[in-house]
Amino acid sequence: VHAKNLIHRDIKAANFLVGENWHVKLCDFGFSRSMGAAGDAMKAGAQMTLCGTDEWMAPETMMGLDYDQKADVFSFGMFLLEMSLRAEPKLRDPSKMYRFEEELYRRDAAKAGVPEGLIQVIVDCTRYEPADRPTMKEVLGVLKDLAKKQPDDTLDFVESSSDSELVEKKEKKDRHKHRDETDAEREKRRRREKKHDARERHRSRKDKDKDKESSEKREK
């Protein structure tokens, strides 16, 4: 988005679409606007309007000050916070100029087992001064580096792989996971999977029967 000289202005989890293979895309560009030619000045002041969602909004936006793409970086940091704690961010205190309370987040993140590297990315994105925040390109670079260090693929969402590549990656991981199984464990797993498939087929037949019954009732 920023590479195309745009500002989104409403980044939050609700505005991301997740495909069946965990391929994530940003959506809802209703508030997005084109930046000025220099990339740091708004066109005719149109981007100075207060828009977005309060809990994810940058302090400068909340206070009606001039803002640029670094406001998106702040919102992305709040989105990462949302994902890391699995809870929506709380409204920030206007008496503190809507500052992000780093110490409180670090405490909650430590309890939730959030990787230190990700905690630091979130803290950097949510700096009070826009100039102190990284660019989105820098943020994604750091996240990709972190993803490579995560053995459990907890940061796979930053990868720009195609769906087929993600499927192949998952299958490879599954093969590795099952490689060291004993024959007894492998047989037990297969029986469990077979039972699961049978239950799914049975549930599917029941759903079809219900749909057919409902259709017949409507026709009568």
E strand segments, the chain: 6-7, 16-18, 24-26, 33-34
Residue 17: strand pairing partners: 25
Percent of the chain with pLDDT over 70: 70
Q: How many residues does the chain have?
A: 220
Own/partner pairs, 90-97, CB within 8 angstroms, 24+ separation:
90/55, 91/54, 91/55, 92/55, 92/59, 92/62, 94/62, 97/59, 97/63, 97/128
d(CA 58, CA 71): 5
**Has residue 52 been placed in a domain?**
yes
Domain total for the chain?
Answer: 2
Q: Catalogue the active-site residues.
A: 10
**Predicted confidence band of residue 60 (pLDDT cuts 50, 70, 90):** very high
DSSP 133: S
pLDDT of 124 reads: 95
Residue 81 contacts residue 118 (beta carbons within 8 Å): no
Q: What residues pair up with 16 in beta bridges, in sequence order? A: 26
- What pLDDT shows up at residue 210? 60
Is residue 48, in this structure, part of any structural domain at all? yes
- Domain for residue 86, yes or no? yes
φ/ψ (deg, to 5) at 25 = -135, 140
Q: Which domain holds residue 189?
A: 181-219
Please give the pLDDT value at position 1.
Answer: 78
Q: Is residue 171 part of a domain?
A: no
The CA distance from 96 to 87, in Å, is 22
CATH number, position 11: 1.10.510.10
pLDDT tens for each residue of 93-136: 888 889 988 998 999 998 889 999 999 999 999 999 999 999 99
CB hemisphere CA count around 76 (13 angstroms) = 24
Question: Do residues 158 and 199 both lie within one domain?
Answer: no
| Amino acid making up residue 174 | D
Higher pLDDT, residue 183 or 129: 129
Residue 24 has pLDDT above 80, yes or no: yes
User: Are 207 and 109 members of one domain?
Assistant: no
Query: 155 and 186, same structural domain?
Result: no
53 neighbors 10 (Cβ within 8 angstroms)? yes
**Chain mean pLDDT for the chain:** 78
Examine the pLDDT at 177 and tell me if it is beyond 60: no
Q: Would you say residue 19 lies in a domain? A: yes
pLDDT of residue 191: 80
